[in-house]
């Protein structure tokens, strides 16, 4: 009986450890799905831009969530040496509903749309003081107020840097030379083939005419021979 009790306790212990393992895997899976499908904001493939002093620049930001959105709150801030200055904020009640927003800066315009999951802004007539980091933030009530933010960096310059086109010119010149050489070779080849065909045609004509002359000569000679060989009556 003691051994049975010992085996029973061992089996139950294994079952409990198996249940714990399964529960842990389930929690990890749920967390993985939550992290993958949760709210994210992004500035796209480019996280910075260089713009001319006095120009207008787009500060891009889009949001995404596989779970969906409800009362999505968003805002833009400018990081002024550690002090966050609010540029605008707004709320998107549900998917497909256009955002309601407030502008807190005289040179900022909101250009986003819920149709494209876009919460971008325009900054007009930029100055050197506008250079720095701009933070796009969003919070989704449908995901228990899960939030996410991203940073876009603006550089303001007097004039745009001239791109060194030397390498491009060299590549274009080499490609042009190669293409030109190929064209010349093809033209020469076509001319050679053309003249060879003409020579072949001339040779064929000569052979035909010479063979006709030979037949005529042989025919005449044969006729003369026959005429001479005919006995007189």
CATH of the domain at 60: 2.60.40.10
- Structure letter (DSSP) for residue 94: E
Q: Hey, how many other C-beta atoms are within 10 angstroms of the C-beta on 148? A: 18
Tell whether 181 and 98 lie within a shared domain: no
The alpha carbon torsion through 113, 116, 118, 124 (nearest 10 deg) reads -70
Give the pLDDT of residue 50. Answer: 96
Asked if the structure places residue 7 within a domain, the reply is: no
Tell whether 152 and 203 lie within a shared domain: no
Asked if the structure places residue 226 within a domain, the reply is: no
CA dihedral for 102, 107, 108, 109, sign (positive or negative): positive
pLDDT of the chain along its 233 residues, tens only?
444 454 554 445 544 555 544 555 444 444 444 445 699 999 999 999 999 999 999 999 999 999 999 999 999 999 999 999 999 999 999 999 999 999 999 999 999 999 999 999 999 999 999 999 999 999 999 999 999 999 999 999 998 666 556 666 678 777 777 888 888 888 888 888 877 777 777 666 666 666 655 555 555 454 444 545 555 54
Give the pLDDT of residue 182. Answer: 85
Asked if the structure places residue 74 within a domain, the reply is: yes
Asked if the structure places residue 33 within a domain, the reply is: no
Tell whether 99 and 142 lie within a shared domain: yes
Asked if the structure places residue 220 within a domain, the reply is: no
- pTM as predicted: 0.58
Asked if the structure places residue 124 within a domain, the reply is: yes
Tell whether 150 and 50 lie within a shared domain: yes
Q: 174 is in which domain, residue-wise?
A: 167-209
CA dihedral for 201, 202, 203, 204, sign (positive or negative): positive
Instruction: Provide the number of structural domains found in the chain.
Output: 2
Tell whether 88 and 192 lie within a shared domain: no
């Amino acid at each position: 009986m003691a051994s049975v009790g010992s085996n029973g306790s061992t089996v139950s212990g294994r079952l409990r450890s198996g249940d714990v393992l399964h529960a842990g895997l389930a929690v990890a899976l749920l967390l993985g799905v939550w992290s993958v499908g949760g709210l994210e904001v992004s500035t796209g493939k480019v996280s910075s831009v260089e713009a001319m002093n006095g120009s207008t620049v787009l500060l891009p930001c889009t949001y995404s969530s596989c779970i969906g959105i409800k009362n999505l709150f968003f805002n833009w801030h400018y990081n002024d040496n550690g002090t966050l200055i609010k540029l605008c904020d707004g709320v998107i009640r549900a998917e497909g509903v256009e955002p309601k927003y407030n502008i807190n800066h005289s040179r900022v315009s909101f250009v986003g749309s819920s149709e494209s999951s876009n919460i971008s802004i325009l900054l007009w007539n930029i100055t050197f003081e506008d250079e720095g980091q701009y933070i796009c933030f969003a919070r989704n009530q449908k995901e228990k107020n899960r939030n996410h933010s991203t940073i876009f960096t603006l550089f303001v310059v007097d004039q745009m840097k001239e791109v060194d086109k030397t390498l491009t010119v060299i590549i274009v010149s080499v490609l042009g030379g190669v293409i030109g050489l190929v064209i010349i070779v093809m033209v020469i080849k076509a001319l050679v083939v053309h003249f060879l065909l003409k020579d072949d045609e001339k040779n064929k004509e000569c052979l035909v005419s010479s063979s006709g002359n030979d037949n005529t000569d042989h025919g005449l000679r044969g006729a003369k021979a026959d005429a001479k060989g005919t006995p007189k009556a």
